[in-house]
Amino acid sequence: VKSRRATSFDIAELAGVSQSTVSRALRNSLLVSEDTRRKVRAAAQQLNYKVDVNARNLRAQRTNTLALLLCADNEASESQINPFFLSMLGSITKASAHHGYDLLVSFQHFSNDWRADYEDSKRADGLIFLGYGDYTGYISKIARLAEQGAHFITWGPVLKGQPGHFLGSDNRAGARGAVEHLISLGRTRIAFLGTKSDAFPEFKERHLGYCEALQAAGLLLDPALQVDAFTSQEHGARAARQLLARNRPFDALFAASDLIAMGALRALQEAAIEIPQDIAVVGFDDIEEASRSMPALTTVRQDTKLAGEQLVVRLLALIRGEGFEASLIPTQLKIRKSCGACG
Amino acid sequence: VKSRRATSFDIAELAGVSQSTVSRALRNSLLVSEDTRRKVRAAAQQLNYKVDVNARNLRAQRTNTLALLLCADNEASESQINPFFLSMLGSITKASAHHGYDLLVSFQHFSNDWRADYEDSKRADGLIFLGYGDYTGYISKIARLAEQGAHFITWGPVLKGQPGHFLGSDNRAGARGAVEHLISLGRTRIAFLGTKSDAFPEFKERHLGYCEALQAAGLLLDPALQVDAFTSQEHGARAARQLLARNRPFDALFAASDLIAMGALRALQEAAIEIPQDIAVVGFDDIEEASRSMPALTTVRQDTKLAGEQLVVRLLALIRGEGFEASLIPTQLKIRKSCGACG
DNA sequence: TTGTATGCGTTATCAT
DNA sequence: ATGATAACGCATACAA
């Protein structure tokens, strides 16, 4: 049977000092002598003492905890979460721990009940939103949170006049670079797979980058070469089939995400099309799987490690009451076999 | 600027009742009249009141929070987490929320500092351990936790005489079924890719199931057809190459995990071997990617949804002081193209 | 059914 | 440098 937990009073008794001194000593206060600090530490260790975080949080009015709210119901894949966000989850978890914060993780079923009251209830000092690609319903809720003075940051598109604070990759530049690369390889009829609606600003930015690259090269922007698709293999495959059905010639394909690209890859291969000989394919994200597809997928890498770290660092700054300057995280083109540049 | 948070005292004043009544009403106590309950609720809503969980937890001595401790340093992939565990993470998160519990997620760097004091510090009521495939170092720490009367459950092998409580798939039966299926397809020289050391009991169980199936069919158990591998594509590919280098004929391959299988798939294909014509391949786990590999991977599906739910349910039972009866979660053979049974 | 009083284990503000 | 004391906001035992 487990004995009663030790409290700071127990430590105080054992170490022969007052309870307040114990508290100070354990928090490394400078107002305590090296000698007593040692005594207190020894006593704490002996009694296997651990600070009760609830008492601490209640008294100190902060939790040393962040909450990660992951959107669970994409339009796309019902069951499975986008691997890119899982990668982000990993890096956020690590960054959070690195800064001495615990992390609460919650999948939000957006439609029904949107629980963003982690801060109100003093469960967390701040919130990170992830995976809210569908902007329309989200932004109004965000606005309300921002009004209330909540501390939160959202991974997503960095646009002018948004409520709240956003951090995201430089989607437009990344897309532009990818398409420029395709053009430099001699491809001229480049299709875009992904929705370009206002509801999905990240995809829209990628589409803009695509358009910019084409225009800069003096190439025709053929609307028939764009097909809507959400982030999933199924949507990607379906979109590729639609594209083929249009009987419009194209020699390259830029997908708004790796999942779309990989679905397309498969659909094209099923139609006996050779990648990259017949059609070059480029994706976006650089999920693990991208490097393992056949052929390996050229893609625009989002730096999830830096992104997670930055999300945490900047959220902590917000919590401290510091300002926020918008910025974009650079992407990097990962050239693999699917675009025909190598291999 | 945000005004002071409302407390239960503020509600009490507004509703014209005592603070304790407010507390009771909000907790849906039966000892409060429908009338006052309404009044209290209205007042709470008006003031946008949210219970301070730290105060509640401190007073009630429980946190309504579980902690998920994910092993971050597999022998295998440094950077990336096994997709299977990510899937588990998803289902645990959902199950936890479903039961009204928050979930703290932490990646444990096993080697250095092992922070399992979430319960001591009253951050969580119970712990879930995930991804501790390497048993040797882990089990002693587990034993210490169990001695202390901590509430925790581990996803892993269910063996006799273990300290603590374990829940896991029926690895042996799953493996046996998979190999029986290969045998039923006429394969007789079946290789096993995966370490069978005591340090990795889940893999060992899968290897045992493999052996059982071979023996039951009266087939030779050739040690030269087993190659060690941890769960990663790289290890899988390497192991497959090693196997080929042995110049020992084989017509099928059972991998201890999907990642191993997919790595092997690739290595075999690079050696111009046709799957499944030349060699049938079966994996274990049924990660998302398995259904999308070329060819689609036949595998032993672990029911992550049920597993996550069960982990949470049984941990909650442990927390309530109820007993724990060991049991195994059944697996299911998913037949796809890589074993040659269809397509 | 409701109200009163107390304490959960800290940290912070006074003193000394 | 240390000790006494007072909150933090809630839930519970007890009284009414």
Residue B97: which residues within 8 A CB-CB, separation 6 or more?
A106, A107, B103
The pLDDT of residue B319 is above 70: yes
Would you tell me which residues have their CB within 7 A of strand D?
A: A 16-21, 24, 30-33, 35-36, 55, 58-59, 61; B 5, 7-9, 19-20, 23-24, 26-27, 49, 51-52, 55-56, 58-60
**Cα distance from N-terminal residue to C-terminal residue, chain B:** 65
Model pTM?
Answer: 0.93
Query: Tell me: the pLDDT tens digits for B278-294?
Result: 999 999 999 988 988 88
Q: Do B93 and A105 touch (CB under 8 A)?
A: yes
Q: What is the DSSP string of B313-332?
A: HHHHHHHTT------EE--E
The pLDDT of residue B80 is above 80: no
**What one-letter code names the amino acid at B228?**
D
Q: Is residue B257 within 8 Å of residue B196, measured between CB atoms? A: no
Enumerate the nucleotides of strand C whose atoms come under 7 Å of any protein CB.
Answer: 1-5, 7-13
The pLDDT of residue B58 is above 60: yes
H helices of A164-276, in order, are 171-184, 201-216, 233-245, 258-270
- Euclidean distance between CA atoms A273 and A270, whole angstroms: 7
**Cα distance from N-terminal residue to C-terminal residue, chain A:** 65
Nearest residue on chain A to B83, alpha-carbon basis: A83
Residues of B with CB below 8 A from A103's CB? 104-106
| Closest nucleotide to the alpha carbon of B56, via C1' | D10
Residue A112 pLDDT: 59
Query: Model confidence at B76, in pLDDT bands (50, 70, 90)?
Result: very low
Residues of B with CB below 8 A from A54's CB? 54-55, 57-58, 63, 122
The pLDDT of residue B111 is above 60: yes
Q: Is residue A222 within 8 Å of residue A256, measured between CB atoms? A: no
* Cβ of A59 less than 7 A from strand C: yes
Residue B1 pLDDT: 34
Residues of A with CB below 8 A from B103's CB? 104-106
Q: Is A73 on the interface with B (CB under 8 A)?
A: no
Residue B81 pLDDT: 78
Q: Where are the beta strands (DSSP E) in B131-174?
A: 152-155, 166-169
Query: Tell me: the pLDDT tens digits for A143-156?
Result: 888 988 899 999 99
Residues of A with CB below 8 A from B112's CB? none
Nearest residue on chain B to A287, alpha-carbon basis: B80
Q: Do A51 and B102 touch (CB under 8 A)?
A: no
Residue B134 pLDDT: 78
Q: Do A294 and B294 touch (CB under 8 A)?
A: yes
Enumerate the nucleotides of strand D whose atoms come under 7 Å of any protein CB.
Answer: 1-5, 7-13
Q: Are strands B298-301 and B332-334 parallel, antiparallel or unpaired?
A: antiparallel
- Euclidean distance between CA atoms A2 and B82, whole angstroms: 35
For residue A8, what are the CA distances in angstroms to A21, A46, A57, B150? Answer: 9, 13, 15, 21
In a structure prediction context, what are the per-residue pLDDT tens digits for chain A, which is 343 residues long?
345 789 999 999 999 999 999 999 998 878 889 999 999 999 999 999 999 999 999 999 999 999 999 887 665 445 677 889 989 999 999 999 999 999 999 988 766 567 778 999 999 999 999 988 777 888 888 888 898 889 999 999 998 888 889 999 999 999 999 999 999 999 999 999 999 998 899 999 999 999 999 999 999 899 999 999 999 899 999 999 999 999 999 999 999 999 999 999 999 999 999 999 999 999 999 998 898 888 999 999 999 999 999 999 999 999 999 989 889 999 999 999 999 887 5
Q: Is residue B110 within 8 Å of residue B324, measured between CB atoms? A: no
Q: Please identify among residues 82-101 of chain B the ones whose CB lies closer than 8 Å to any CB of chain A.
A: 83, 86-87, 89-90, 93-94, 97
Phi, psi dihedrals of residue B126, rounded to the nearest 5°: -165, 165
